[in-house]
Amino acid sequence: MTKRLTAGSALPDGVMPPTYDPAAHGEGIVHIGLGAFHKAHQAVYTDDALAAAGGDWRIVGVSLRSAAPAEELSPQDGRYTLIERSVEGSRARVVGSMSRALCLKTDRAAVLKALCAPSTRIVSITVTEKGYGLDRATGGIDPTHPAIAADLARPKAPEGLAGLLVWALAERRRKGVPPFTVLCCDNLPENGHLVRSLLTDMARHCAPDLVEHLTQNVAFPCTMVDRITPARSPDTLALALAMIGFEDRATVETEAFRQWVIEDHFPTGRPDWETGGALFVRDVRPFEEMKLRMLNGTHSMLAYTGFLAGYKYVRNVMGDPALSRLVTRHLGAAASTLDPLPGVDFGLYTKELTARFANPHLGHETYQIAMDGSEKMPQRIFAPALDALHNGQPLDAFAFATAAWVRYTVGRTDGNEAYDLRDPLSAKLAPAIDAPETAATLYDRIVNLPGLFPTELSASARWRSAVIERLGHMLSAGMQAAIQSEVAKIGD
């Protein structure tokens, strides 16, 4: 029987082990949201920082609901193989920065203890856009979000992110322990500010005397995070076994590229993440806008069009000449809405993104990116569309992406096969309606859902007709035909 990867496993040549002794370093970070992205990104930067500069910064990984990540990692002493896949080939390294993996549901006492420990100086988060329970319209909590509702009802036994962090910050204050820094690593605009406003509102409801402490004494640096990390497949597990000679149920595959831009505001210290290439800046916002609009916006556009055109992976979309032209157009349109960013060449960034999307070794599914559109479209597509409207720039690329998303919410392919929308707003986006809708009625119903579209954008007649015309074509002629006629509009 193949042995499982552990701290004691002798790794073959060519597989990079931790170049430091992980056990000699204490814990300093609790990370909430133990998914593939954290394991491919922040945990790797921390691994590099521990190797280069040391410090007690190992990570206690926590998932809120699923026991699977901890079940995978714990028998492996927190170790896992990171496989970087690029045109140059695949490289494997074993990451040692995760000291323990826990699940709030099953290891509650240990999680709460770690959150209150004076040694915990940072709590970082990747729970995806929908995990926060944020009401976009108010910037506060969404009381209908299941975890927020549960925590409002029982604030002393929190289950969700906002309730848990408010509880932990209150406990630390009661015990005279300095607050930890809250580091949001999800693809949200001004993510630190959003989480501060979420926690402050949560505190208003369940710990009013904490509000001032939260706003005055807790740091919420904003960050831009980037590394394309597909969901693990059976092939990933087989590749890890072939590369390291041990069974690794916690392995993760990703691209070679990675980027992390962080606001340097860590009152209780931080690892030397710059040793792994992180960039510390005063204002993350322009980097964040660039990445959300160019990388993520184009991702969403190509996911809806590509999925409906029958393409499973992003790399297949890039192999379609018509779609790849629409990708280039979208990148250009998104870049035109950005203010110049000293030291960054948007043209070069476009080239890099195109090559990253085309990576022939990554199995990044269009269906994975298509998930949670209602949580992603506002910052990726509607915000730059509004800027383009203000600037008098063409709306075509954003209108096309929006039409593709609205088309996707119908939940049936052009061949009439049903698929699951996987969106927290599924019930509202695709309610049971007897008669098929026209492009106009479908669009109008969705544009009027509260909190999704900026009002100025939805009120624009130019925008409305640009979306409806394209949506009508997608519904009547199918996605393949709509792609062709969109390309014909670009000209040479």
Residue numbers of the site for ligand CS2 (CB under 6 A)? 187, 226-228, 296, 299, 368-369, 376
Smallest gap from Cβ 22 to ligand CS2, in A, equals 26
**Residue 37: exposed, middle, or buried by beta-carbon count in 10 A (0-12, 13-18, 19+)?**
buried
For residue 406, how many other CB atoms are within 10 A of its CB?
25
Are 276 and 237 in contact by the 8 Å Cβ rule? The answer is no
* Identity of the amino acid at 141: I
Residue 240 or 369 with smaller CB distance to ligand CS2? 369
Strands of 223-226's sheet, edge to edge? 223-226, 259-263, 279-281
Residue 20 or 357 with smaller CB distance to ligand CS2? 357
Residue 369 or 386 with smaller CB distance to ligand CS2? 369
Joined tokens for residue 438: 């026209």
Residue 172 or 376 with smaller CB distance to ligand CS2? 376
Residue 106 or 354 with smaller CB distance to ligand CS2? 354
Strand partners, 183: 124
Residue 197 or 379 with smaller CB distance to ligand CS2? 379
Smallest gap from Cβ 272 to ligand CS2, in A, equals 22
DSSP line for 299-348: HHHHHHHHHHTT--BHHHHHTSHHHHHHHHHHHHHHHHTSPP-TT--HHH
In angstroms, the CA 363 to CA 153 distance is 42
* Identity of the amino acid at 282: R
Smallest gap from Cβ 384 to ligand CS2, in A, equals 15
DSSP annotation of 76 reads G
Smallest gap from Cβ 229 to ligand CS2, in A, equals 7
Burial per residue of 109-125, b for 16 or more beta-carbon CB atoms within 10 angstroms, e otherwise? eebbebbbbebbbbbbb
Residue 99 or 223 with smaller CB distance to ligand CS2? 223
Smallest gap from Cβ 313 to ligand CS2, in A, equals 13
Smallest gap from Cβ 287 to ligand CS2, in A, equals 12
In angstroms, the CA 294 to CA 290 distance is 6
Smallest gap from Cβ 439 to ligand CS2, in A, equals 25
Residue 224 or 388 with smaller CB distance to ligand CS2? 224
Smallest gap from Cβ 426 to ligand CS2, in A, equals 17
Nearest residue to ligand CS2 on Cβ basis: 299
Joined tokens for residue 145: 């979000």
